[in-house]
Amino acid sequence: MLIKRPPDISSSEITEEGVYHQRRKFLQQSLALGLGAGIAAHLPDAHAGYGGEALTFTTPDAYRLNVEKTAYKDVTTYNNFYEFSTSKYAPARKAHTLRTRPWSIRVEGECAKPGVVDIEDVLKRHALEERIYRFRCVEGWSMVIPWVGFSLSEMLKQFEPTSRAKYVMFETLVDPEQFPNQKGRVLDWPYQEGLRIDEAMNPLTLMAVGLYGEVLPNQNGAPIRLVVPWKYGFKSIKSIVKIKFVETMPKSTWMKASSREYGFYSNVNPEVSHPRWSQRRERRIGEWGKRDTLMFNGYAEQVAHLYKGMDLQKYF
């Protein structure tokens, strides 16, 4: 299956984030005057005012990435979501067919307490954080996105995975009426992904329910999706309805489609080229030119130890 490189986006299509930044600056300055700048970073934040439902969250210092965020318009209109379309611009137009309530997630497999959780219960149980992550696509483009969510490990621990749980498998909803492209055979539905258990338990691995301070738009994987910032974007499975603890490595959707091109680990590694293009450089959406790709997408300090002693050319 061929994936085309994204076309260049003209500057006229890039939306300014002025309203967002002005509001954040005002809030932080006000809090600093009244309570001290050190406290401001840990108080509940409000939404960005883009038109979606507001979320309440904190923004820990550890996740305040000091780089320019990608424009909201680009984050919400330039998406890989094959259940809707193979075109990157089509999901934003077609995603109204997805119904995100009611929504539940079944958790099963090698765990002591399997069960089904409702999305509303998930939101009540977990305190939300804003995390600004780099997001790198295997096709060579990247973004910087302020996600809102919680560490996947928090959710997984409540089901008490056993010692036999070596991997975690994820599955997207199958419903061709809501996902029109599932009527075809573009991929082997349902979309499935997997992580090693220690990758899933890493604090960086996020269950996202929002971005830019608001609930996830449908085209971005509503109502809940995975974000694994040191891996290529296709590992961050959307619209999750099933999580399964398994003993053996699951075969993900893109591995089934082309195992030569898409390995299980899919770590961002500039030294391992895709069979049809180099991964050494990337183009940040909204910028001119290209930049060097960082090992593990810039998160080596937090995750390199997970792969100590592994041949990352072989286990790509």
Cα distances (Å, whole numbers) of residue 32 to 14, 36, 42, 131, 295: 32, 4, 12, 21, 36
Q: What local confidence, expressed as pLDDT, does residue 12 receive?
A: 34
pLDDT band at 300 (very low <50, low <70, confident <90, very high): very high
Q: What local confidence, expressed as pLDDT, does residue 154 receive?
A: 98
pTM (predicted TM-score): 0.85
Do 32 and 40 touch, CB atoms closer than 8 A?
yes
The CATH H-level superfamily of 51-307 is Oxidoreductase, molybdopterin-binding domain (3.90.420.10)
Q: In this model, does residue 19 exceed pLDDT 50?
A: no
Percent of the chain whose predicted confidence (pLDDT) is above 90: 84
What's the average model confidence in pLDDT over 217-239? 98
Q: In this model, does residue 112 exceed pLDDT 70?
A: yes
Q: What local confidence, expressed as pLDDT, does residue 141 receive?
A: 98
Q: What local confidence, expressed as pLDDT, does residue 7 receive?
A: 39
How far apart (Å, rounded) are the C-alpha atoms in residues 194 and 199? 10
Q: In this model, does residue 1 exceed pLDDT 90?
A: no
Respond yes or no on whether the N-terminal peptide bond of residue 270 is cis (omega within 30° of 0): no
All residues at 6 or more sequence positions from 26 whose CB lies less than 8 Å from its CB, including other chains = none
Q: In this model, does residue 50 exceed pLDDT 80?
A: yes
Q: In this model, does residue 17 exceed pLDDT 80?
A: no
Percent of the chain whose predicted confidence (pLDDT) is above 70: 85
Q: What is the pLDDT of residues 196-219, one digit of tens each?
A: 999 999 999 999 999 999 999 999
* Least confidently predicted of 4-18, 162-176, 245-259: 4-18
Largest CA distance in the chain: 58
Q: In this model, does residue 272 exceed pLDDT 50?
A: yes
Q: What is the pLDDT of residues 301-314, one digit of tens each?
A: 999 999 999 999 99
Q: What local confidence, expressed as pLDDT, does residue 51 receive?
A: 76
Q: What local confidence, expressed as pLDDT, does residue 20 receive?
A: 38
What's the average model confidence in pLDDT over 181-209? 98
Which part of the chain has CATH 3.90.420.10?
51-307
Q: What local confidence, expressed as pLDDT, does residue 36 receive?
A: 36
From 237, 104, 244, select the one nearest 162 (Cα to Cα). Answer: 244
How far apart (Å, rounded) are the C-alpha atoms in residues 174 and 285? 30
Q: What is the pLDDT of residues 59-110, one digit of tens each?
A: 999 999 999 999 999 999 999 999 999 999 999 999 999 999 999 999 999 9
* Least confidently predicted of 8-22, 136-150, 293-307: 8-22
* Least confidently predicted of 23-27, 78-82, 167-171, 237-241: 23-27
